[in-house]
Structure formats: structure tokens, C-alpha cells
Structure 1
């Protein structure tokens, strides 16, 4: 975590104009297989989330705050996978894996902003379920269209100013030595490995930001679900309990997948980082989770399943 020793000459620190994304170049025999696998996963993520987005916008039975957030979440997932996966597919298909300094900084910035947005939208969805189950009579008053739209908008813009300064801080540090990033996109941990000198302050900044935008939302979600589960267990009807659990279980599964991999990646000590583990965890939250989210919501939410069947049948008939 401390200084890497004596800094190389200044010319080496200022000459860096591009990075090389090593990605999965350590397994050359699997390049074709990985290209096909990630392409299929990317298409599945795009199609699944696009269908959810369309039905939450067009189906009359889904015009409520819960599905407004789900529509925003699906659009976010489309953006999220599109920041990293097309670039990964391009690198698997060609030999030149270079990415310019500015493009690397831009990719990191957009990825971080979308990550914060996802944390906040998942928190807003938990709050929506909390009000619906713990205060059902007040739900139409509290979660009106104005408030739910403001919450969704706030989730989108809240990470924008924070990460401008954060990304600038990282890319203002002196880079020296080799320019090879042992990763498939410009994530924070691999970029920091190329920084010269003491990275203690920037690492502390990472922990502070992660605490604010990952840990605090996660704890709010956990707190909401403690109250929700307590309320559900007091319901007299078994059918009522089952229905309440079914509307929450899909959200809980998505929260566990996203926050679990994110917290492990950004909050574990630097000494325990390894390129292979980082790449595996990154694949989990950059493509695996966005691919599975539509399936989770469709299989666990009866209203979404009914709306999706109705939409698909209409297009088949046409």
C-alpha cells in the first residue's frame, strides 16, 4: 500500500499515453470460445433487459412505482454491460488491445457512475417495498408518481459529480514503468497497480467513497428487509405471506449478487488482490448479474411474467 520505492525518471511518468488491456490474452487457445460466450451473454442481457424496460413502460398493469424503478434498473443494466463488454469483444477479436489514456479514464468514470446509480436504485426499490408492505394504507400517498420519479432521477445524477473528482484524482497520479493492465477494462484496482509512489491517500479515498455509496445503501437495504420480513411474518394469511415474499425475493437475490461481488472487489485489502480473482469478480457484476436479472424478476414476479407473456403473444400474432 505504501511507496513502491524510488520513482523512475520523470520522462517515464509523463510519457504514458495509452494502456494495453491484457484481458484474457493468457489463454490464447480460448479466445474464440470466450468471444462466443461473452457475445451470447451480452445479447441475452440486452434482450432480457430491453423486454423488461418495454413492458414496464407499456403495460397498464405495471404503471406503479415498483415497476418504474424496475424499468430504470433494466435501462441501467443495458448501459452497464455496454460500457465494458463491447470493448472486451473487440479485444478478443483483434490483436491490438491498446486503449488511450483518455478513453481509459472515460470508461472508468462512466462505469463508476453507473455502479453508484445501481446501488442507489436498488436502495430506492427496497424503500418502495418497505412502504408497500409495512405501511400499505399510506403507500399511494407516500410513493406517489412525483416522489418516485424524483427518487429515480436522484439515483441517476447523484454519482456524476463525485466520480468526476475521483477519476481525475486517479489519472492525475504519476504512472511509470509498464503500461499493461491485467484486466479487461479500466477498473480502479488494476489501474492503481501502475501508479508510482505512495497510493495510501487514494486508497483511503476509495474506502470512504465505497463506504458512502456501497456500504451505507447496503445497510439501508438490510434494515428495510429486517422490517419487511418482520411485518410479513405477522400476516395472518399464508397466501398473503407467500405473495409478499414473492415480490421481495427477486430484489433480494439481485442485491446479494451485485453488492456481494462489489463489496469483495472494492473493500478487501490491497494485499489480497490478484488479477485472476479481480477479473472473475468483475465478470460477475459486469455481465453475469445483468444477464440473470431479467430472468430473476420474470421467474419470481407473477405480474412481470404475465405482462411479458401478453407482450410476446401480441408480437407472435402480428
Structure 2
């Protein structure tokens, strides 16, 4: 289990600061570039779990890189290079303080709200008479505030504009980009026998231009269903077979943990950690449609330092 990269403490050429997130560590290089190291940490219920998952960072980084390349004709994105399997170097932007969540199906948070009798989510109406996992007539955007600590909160388009979080003009452009990138993600997923159920995007601005940032269409930021058997399961009100980190959340719930006060994270055995690693590799191969090539795990931190330093020194 010690092979997983759970902590980074690099000092790259030109480094001005570092931000340690739940999963990603982001290094600011001369206020021009960001070096995003996708660690093997895993979080659920807003808690970082005690063990890292080997190859998880590589899986997430490589999926995001592929989808950024596959949508670059729709919206400019922040990616400049991937000098290491676990690293993306990109343009430093000023982030918008909202996350654009787009939902094609009534599931997850939206379903929980719906089940409680609510028929609007983030100011967006949801039709009467729907059932869990049913597709919406057209995809809906349900934005959230961007919390650097604690939980993101639902917010409506009207509130975002009224509070001056994002201008009306920029927000309407974000909506267009969100729907177009989601539509492309759905097309690609369909070819892989998958359904891109819902996902979230983050955008920023650089030189007055809107830029798509961070990760996209990964199993950490998105929910996928298997297309085969979807209609039958929907008709029988059965749970859908899904590709996301939901299986980790389910394991935690079964072991008495939901991130609530006083609850203790269950022990993660080496066997369980390896099974999660295998699941992430399976996610990669299903989403991307290519065999996953494992990077060398002998000294991951040294490998990253060498690769990133060589890139920045060019």
C-alpha cells in the first residue's frame, strides 16, 4: 500500500505557492502556469480516506487529459502538457466561483430532492411524475457554489447573477459551453456502451477569455451508467449498473460511515485497497476504450519531480 502517492511536497523551478486539495496538489509557477499533481488520495463524504489507491491519480489525470483534448474545438481549455502520467501543467486562470453541474438523468442529489417532494432544483423546474434514473426531457444545469472547505451549496442562475458572482453575459456563455461539452461527452460515452449521467465543469478566465479548467469526465467528477440493460432496469425500478466511485461510498455506508460526526472511517485492508485500484483501472479502460498502461511505482515522487522539472526547464 506504501506505493500510493498520498502526499507531495515539491519545490519546482519558479514555484510561488502550493494548494493542497482533497485529491489534487496544485503548484503555482510564476503566476503563469499551474502544475496539478493528481495524487492517489481518495475522498468520500468530504473526508480523505486513510489509505491511498495505487494508480488512481494516473487514471484520473489521463482520462481528464483525453477529454480535454477531445473537447478543445468547443471551448479553449487550460491544459498545456502532461509531463508525467499523474501531472497536468496548465494555464493559470482566475476561476469562476461556481461549479457548473449538468444532469441528463434524475439521479443522485437531484433524485433525493425530488423524492422529498421538491420540483425545482437550483431554480430549474423538474417535471412531475418522474422516477429515479429517468432521463430529463433535456439536460438541466444545476450550479453550486465552489466551497474550498466544507460542502458546495446549490444556487440558482438568478442568484449567481444577482449576487455578482458571475456576470449575466459570462454565465450565459458558461451554460452554452457546459451543454456543448456534456453533449460531446455523451457521444463519446455512447460509443463505449456507456451513458454520461451527470458531471461538473469548472471554468476560469484568462485575458478576458473563458477557459475550461481542472478535470472533466472522470469517475470522480461524473457518473456513468452502462447502456446495456439500462431500459430494462429502469422499467423494473432496479438500481442501474454504474461506473463511478459510488462503490466506495457504498462500502463505507455498509461499514457504518457516512462522514457524520462521531463516525470512524473503517480500516482499509491491503486487499480492499487493491480491489479499489483494480476498479479504477477498469473505469479507465471502459471510459477511454484503451488498455491502461501502469506507470512505474518504484519512487513516484522522484519520477514526478524529474519529469516536471525537465518540462519547466525547457
Q: TM-score, normalised by structure 1?
A: 0.30
More strand by share: 2
Larger Rg: 1
More helix by share: 1
